[in-house]
Chain A
Amino acid sequence: MPSYTFDLNGKPVSVDAPADHPLLWTLRDQLGVTGPKMGCNLDVCKACTCLIDGEAYTTCVTRIADVAGREVTTIEGLADGDKLHPVQEAWLAHDVPQCGFCQPGQIMRTVALLKKTTNPTDAEIDEIENVCRCGTYFRIREAIKSAAEHMPST
């Protein structure tokens, strides 16, 4: 079985897996990284969203072979030790989570959005497809706007 090496939350990892094994299940079942969630396994709900080289991807449809040599960031790798990322802080400030299951994906998607724009419009926020079955959308929207204000300038 082929072996693939990539950076996971800043540390190199190697896994043996078939080339087309989805990254999500390597993370969850081979590496024990369970922050990215499975809500559909069909690239619909987006709960498995992680960053690959800083961009948001749904890991349930990403081949492990494609990830070799790349940088993968999951929700577990977002905070700097005990210091939360501004998006995580905004999520707490707006008391966003209900069941919480979709929120790692929502947060990772937001982090990617705020890398592209420092001032997201309602129309840009509307493009986020991540499903929240508890219906926390309005608080997510508010948290995104508030996080945008607190992002360190780059």
Chain B
Amino acid sequence: MLSKDAKDDDEDHRGVVSVAVGRRRFLTYLVAAPTLTVAARIGLDSGAAAPAHAAIPSPPQLLGETIDLQDLLVIAGLPTAGLLFQIQVNEDNTVSVPLPRAEVGQGLTTAVPMLIAEEMDIPLSSVRMTLADARPELVMGQISGGSSGICTLYDPARAAAAAARARLVATAAQQWGIPSERLTVTDGTIHAPGGRTATYGSLAVAAAKADLSKLVVEPKPESKAKLVGTRATRLDARDIVTGKHTYTHDLNVAGAKPCLMRRPPTIKGTVQAVNNADTVRRMPGVLAVATIPTGVAVLAETFAQALDGVNALDVAWGPGPVDNESDDTVRQKLRRAVGPVGDPPVTLPLGAGSLEAEFDFAFLSHAPLETNAAVADVRSDRAEIWSALQTPIITQETIAKELRLPLHKVTVHVMPSGGSFGRRLFFDAALEAAQISQAMGRPVKLIWHRTDDIRHGRVHPAKYHKVRVNYVRGNVLSYQHWSASVLTSLEHGFGEALTTAVAKIPGIGNESLNQVAFHAMVHCPYNFGVVGQHLHEVNMPIDTGSWRSVWSVNTRGVEEIIVDELARRFKKDPVQFRREFLKDDRQRAVLDKVASEGNWGRSLPAGVAQGLAFHDEMKGVTACLVELDARDQKHPRVTKAVVAVDVGRPINVSGIEAQVLGGLTDGISVALSGGLHLRNGYFLEGSYHNFHYARQKDTPPQVQIFVMPANGRPGGMGEFAVPVSFGAVVNAYRRATGILPTSFPINSDIDWEPYPPGPVPNPPMRPLPPKR
């Protein structure tokens, strides 16, 4: 049913094309208007639902279940959707297409070329996809976030590519006097029935000039797809494995030398005085020293010399606003935010029971492997910025304002990112680099130190969750979930000035946006009677931000733990329990898939157990089954994982599996070992040896991922494997040990010596053994 409706969408909407620029060697298409209206899948899911017989139905949650975050981002981008893609056909038969999104490892620079190659009937390798500079004319249409990449680009990319193909074919038809319908295209070459051929490249100039203003196009029906839905290797993989792929850290912009910052001992401390700037300026290799609001910058010939410079600085620091805060004080604030939750306002029938549980979550670092970085070349009348950016438009707007330059005098280049997980929604490195370059009067390449990246970067907020479930005779009457969180900064809004201004309205702006975003992301997939999910936020002056899956990893993760507890109370198998309480067969299909492929219920030694979870978000459904060996409780290990995902129509199957793998590793880390400790205004962790993100030895040597057959429009894939993996790991831990963990990460001991606050640690130089 879903795929039929999606197909109807394709056929119902016609593209309108206009040639914008005809240059000598190529042509550029601008698609003048949103050519494919996006039909939100409102009601389809519920239409397909097979209500569970035993369960007390919960009405659909308008936000989250009926309309979700992806829909909101699609709607926000609709007015400029037609401007997103400019396809340039080159004489060598390649096409060049700048992507108006970030590439942070999620694989859009392969999946979107697949959509384009499919529509144009060209080889995938013919698509040259770069990252577009900030394009303010896109308004709310150039934000990468919320797993919305494919959702927001699916129609515009196909429309633009279909239009390009139609125009090239029509041009050949005109030249040859043959109706377009009789021409075919293979690998970018147009064929006529008599054997005549022409390449796209050879027609580019003529196609740019041709009068084809009445041309109508429609994208290929799904049934004719040859490339979309297959496995494609990342187009940038060869550059990556040969060391050619260029990140911000690697940029060689003329004169932009490495630059590091000395940052305050505690979060948001202030520079009061720099006592020895001239001494530092005379150190080997040091080129300049400058103070900006967030710290003191040192520019040098090499990163190592800049590091020596920042650590030699003698700075008087003012206190920060959270110097009196530690994990315990934050935890108290979060508990107070929920407050005492009174008895349920219903009289429970005889035989009814109630389940209550509480959970705490630590702060988390995004910790992308490429630390925060930006290159800036600020001159008196213009500026040029390079950085990995998910919100380039507001970056450009903010930097122009900061430098007092007109917007069009600031160019912002978007670089491939060495990871993000939400971190590059914020452009703090770019702003700092601009400030430093302006202060020093020369180009700079600012690279954050890892320890600063953890201590002064953004964090996933600490959280406290409380759940109360009332049930009777095998049915759930009500499910109430209170989530308290340090405020998640959404100050980037939709990536432009207007929504960021809303987000910055004190006391209500960010908070209101978050209520919408929370409910647009999180919904309960079960028939649990009266369902309530509540977000209580505590605004603290700690820089936070969305961390892959945002509220879902905690809220849905907790819910999956509770589901297992309920199954235990009801004396039901966790798979059977979920089957009964889930709302439709699409959900049950992924659950059944992992249960059968993962051999659910197989016999395992004491201390080793299976665990399982389900998740429904971003127009997709997923289930995860893991086996966890907890015989060493200090070092539990997931030994096997089986994941099934139904993300609607898959674009790149290999890319989807990659995102599952990443989400799985995140889920394992958040459950078992990854977390930060806040003490007296700073985070104790300083690198990956104490921020325990999983390494090879912590991850399963057996992983099976099943991508379900195409099922409607494509959903969002970047984040939704995190909550399900977290839930499965915790449920396996519970079954293996008999212990219900209530604080995450489960292993959170500080059995290491924190770096002292202040200077960044020097590398522990190791002598090379003598040559053999």
Asked if A pairs with B, the answer is yes
Q: A residues within 8 Å of B by Cβ?
A: 18, 20-22, 24-26, 28-30, 32, 34-45, 47, 52-53, 57-58, 60-63, 66-67, 69-70, 74-76, 78-79, 84, 88, 91-93, 95-104, 107, 122, 125-141
Interface contact B700-A95, CB-CB below 8 Å: no
Which residues from chain A contact B347 at a C-beta distance below 8 Å? none
Which residues from chain A contact B699 at a C-beta distance below 8 Å? 135, 137-138
Interface contact A74-B243, CB-CB below 8 Å: yes
Q: Select one of B284, B367, B449 contacting A18, CB under 8 A.
A: B284
Q: Check if B600 is an interface residue, CB within 8 A of chain A.
A: no
Q: Select one of B246, B695, B703 contacting A138, CB under 8 A.
A: B703
Q: How many A-B residue pairs have CB under 8 A?
A: 229
Interface contact A100-B764, CB-CB below 8 Å: no
A84 to B768, CA, bound (A): 28
Q: Check if B440 is an interface residue, CB within 8 A of chain A.
A: no
A39 to B703, CA, bound (A): 27
With contacts A61-B766, A74-B243, A122-B701 taken as known, whether A98 is within 8 angstroms of B662 at the C-beta atoms is: yes
Q: Check if B278 is an interface residue, CB within 8 A of chain A.
A: no
| Chain B 351-379 residues near chain A, CB threshold 8 A | 367-371
With contacts A61-B765, A99-B105, A133-B693 taken as known, whether A70 is within 8 angstroms of B369 at the C-beta atoms is: no
Which residues from chain B contact A28 at a C-beta distance below 8 Å? 250, 302-303
A84 to B229, CA, bound (A): 28
Q: Mark B212-240, 1 if CB is under 8 A from A, else 0.
A: 00000000000000000001011011101
Q: Select one of A22, A26, A45 contacting B765, CB under 8 A.
A: A22
| Chain B 231-283 residues near chain A, CB threshold 8 A | 231, 233-234, 236-238, 240-247, 249-250, 252, 257-258
13 A-B interface contacts by CB (under 8 A): A42-B763, A44-B688, A45-B369, A53-B772, A76-B244, A91-B237, A99-B105, A99-B368, A100-B105, A100-B245, A133-B367, A133-B369, A134-B369
| Chain B 72-118 residues near chain A, CB threshold 8 A | 104-107
Which residues from chain A contact B294 at a C-beta distance below 8 Å? none
Q: Select one of A29, A92, A136 contacting B303, CB under 8 A.
A: A29
Which residues from chain B contact A58 at a C-beta distance below 8 Å? 766
Interface contact A129-B696, CB-CB below 8 Å: yes
Interface contact A43-B419, CB-CB below 8 Å: no
Interface contact A34-B662, CB-CB below 8 Å: no
Question: What is the minimal beta-carbon distance from A121 to any residue of chain B, in angstroms?
Answer: 10
Q: Select one of B252, B367, B447 contacting A38, CB under 8 A.
A: B447
Q: Check if B326 is an interface residue, CB within 8 A of chain A.
A: no
A100 to B761, CA, bound (A): 26
Which residues from chain B contact A84 at a C-beta distance below 8 Å? 238, 241-242
Q: Select one of A42, A102, A137, A141 contacting B764, CB under 8 A.
A: A42
Q: Select one of A35, A57, A95 contacting B658, CB under 8 A.
A: A95
| Chain B 688-735 residues near chain A, CB threshold 8 A | 688-689, 693-697, 699-701, 703
Interface contact B369-A132, CB-CB below 8 Å: yes
Known: A26-B302, A98-B107, A126-B696. 8 other contacts (CB 8 A): A34-B243, A34-B252, A47-B369, A84-B241, A104-B240, A134-B105, A135-B666, A138-B701
Most chain A CB inside 10 Å of its own CB: which residue of B301, B663, B688: B688
Q: Please, which residue of chain A has its CB at the minimum distance from the CB of B247?
A: A101
Q: Select one of A35, A63, A66, A140 contacting B243, CB under 8 A.
A: A35
With contacts A39-B369, A135-B662 taken as known, whether A63 is within 8 angstroms of B765 at the C-beta atoms is: yes
Q: Select one of B231, B233, B252, B658 contacting A136, CB under 8 A.
A: B658
Which residues from chain B contact A67 at a C-beta distance below 8 Å? 768
A47 to B766, CA, bound (A): 16
A38 to B417, CA, bound (A): 13
Most chain A CB inside 10 Å of its own CB: which residue of B420, B662, B768: B768
Interface contact B694-A135, CB-CB below 8 Å: yes
Q: Check if B142 is an interface residue, CB within 8 A of chain A.
A: no
Interface contact B764-A43, CB-CB below 8 Å: yes
Interface contact B763-A43, CB-CB below 8 Å: yes
Question: What is the minimal beta-carbon distance from A108 to any residue of chain B, in angstroms?
Answer: 10
Q: Check if B665 is an interface residue, CB within 8 A of chain A.
A: yes
Q: Check if B304 is an interface residue, CB within 8 A of chain A.
A: yes
Q: Check if B571 is an interface residue, CB within 8 A of chain A.
A: no
Interface contact B696-A130, CB-CB below 8 Å: yes
A141 to B301, CA, bound (A): 38
Question: What is the minimal beta-carbon distance from A132 to any residue of chain B, in angstroms?
Answer: 7
A36 to B242, CA, bound (A): 11
Interface contact A70-B771, CB-CB below 8 Å: yes
A93 to B257, CA, bound (A): 37
Q: Check if B120 is an interface residue, CB within 8 A of chain A.
A: no
With contacts A99-B417, A131-B369 taken as known, whether A42 is within 8 angstroms of B243 at the C-beta atoms is: no
Which residues from chain B contact A37 at a C-beta distance below 8 Å? 247, 249, 369-370, 418
Q: Check if B345 is an interface residue, CB within 8 A of chain A.
A: no
Interface contact B449-A41, CB-CB below 8 Å: yes
Q: Check if B615 is an interface residue, CB within 8 A of chain A.
A: no
Q: Check if B466 is an interface residue, CB within 8 A of chain A.
A: no
Q: Check if B36 is an interface residue, CB within 8 A of chain A.
A: no
Which residues from chain B contact A122 at a C-beta distance below 8 Å? 701
Q: Select one of A66, A96, A135, A136 contacting B768, CB under 8 A.
A: A66
A61 to B419, CA, bound (A): 24
A63 to B764, CA, bound (A): 11
Q: Please, which residue of chain A has its CB at the minimum distance from the CB of B765?
A: A61
Which residues from chain A contact B767 at a C-beta distance below 8 Å? 63, 66
A36 to B249, CA, bound (A): 11
A67 to B769, CA, bound (A): 10
Q: Please, which residue of chain A has its CB at the minimum distance from the CB of B761?
A: A42
A37 to B764, CA, bound (A): 17
A125 to B699, CA, bound (A): 11
Interface contact A45-B688, CB-CB below 8 Å: yes
| Chain B 297-324 residues near chain A, CB threshold 8 A | 301-305, 307
Interface contact B106-A98, CB-CB below 8 Å: yes
Which residues from chain B contact A129 at a C-beta distance below 8 Å? 695-696
Q: Please, which residue of chain A has its CB at the minimum distance from the CB of B242?
A: A79
A42 to B416, CA, bound (A): 24
Which residues from chain A contact B763 at a C-beta distance below 8 Å? 22, 41-43, 60-61
Q: Please, which residue of chain B has its CB at the minimum distance from the CB of A138?
A: B703
Interface contact A38-B658, CB-CB below 8 Å: no
Q: Please, which residue of chain A has its CB at the minimum distance from the CB of B106?
A: A98
A110 to B251, CA, bound (A): 27
Interface contact A137-B665, CB-CB below 8 Å: yes
Question: What is the minimal beta-carbon distance from B678 to any residue of chain A, in angstroms?
Answer: 21
Q: Mark B488-523, 1 if CB is under 8 A from A, else 0.
A: 000000000000000000000000000000000000
Which residues from chain A contact B444 at a C-beta distance below 8 Å? none
Interface contact A40-B687, CB-CB below 8 Å: yes
Q: Please, which residue of chain B has its CB at the minimum distance from the CB of A137?
A: B699
Which residues from chain B contact A125 at a C-beta distance below 8 Å? 696, 701
Interface contact B688-A40, CB-CB below 8 Å: yes
Which residues from chain B contact A38 at a C-beta distance below 8 Å? 249, 303, 371, 447
Question: What is the minimal beta-carbon distance from B764 to any residue of chain A, in angstroms?
Answer: 6
Most chain A CB inside 10 Å of its own CB: which residue of B106, B231, B421, B695: B695
With contacts A26-B302, A95-B234, A137-B699 taken as known, whether A103 is within 8 angstroms of B252 at the C-beta atoms is: no
Q: Please, which residue of chain A has its CB at the minimum distance from the CB of B641?
A: A138
Q: Check if B463 is an interface residue, CB within 8 A of chain A.
A: no
Q: Please, which residue of chain B has its CB at the minimum distance from the CB of A20?
A: B765
Q: Check if B747 is an interface residue, CB within 8 A of chain A.
A: no
Which residues from chain B contact A79 at a C-beta distance below 8 Å? 242
With contacts A37-B370, A135-B666 taken as known, whether A62 is within 8 angstroms of B766 at the C-beta atoms is: yes
Q: Please, which residue of chain A has its CB at the minimum distance from the CB of B105?
A: A99
Q: Check if B654 is an interface residue, CB within 8 A of chain A.
A: yes
Which residues from chain A contact B243 at a C-beta distance below 8 Å? 34-36, 74-76, 104
Question: What is the minimal beta-carbon distance from B443 to any residue of chain A, in angstroms?
Answer: 14
Which residues from chain A contact B245 at a C-beta distance below 8 Å? 100
Question: What is the minimal beta-carbon distance from B599 to any residue of chain A, in angstroms?
Answer: 19
Interface contact B369-A97, CB-CB below 8 Å: no
Question: What is the minimal beta-carbon distance from A144 to any residue of chain B, in angstroms?
Answer: 10
Which residues from chain B contact A45 at a C-beta distance below 8 Å? 369, 450, 687-688
Which residues from chain B contact A93 at a C-beta distance below 8 Å? 233
Interface contact A102-B687, CB-CB below 8 Å: no
Which residues from chain A contact B305 at a C-beta distance below 8 Å? 21, 25
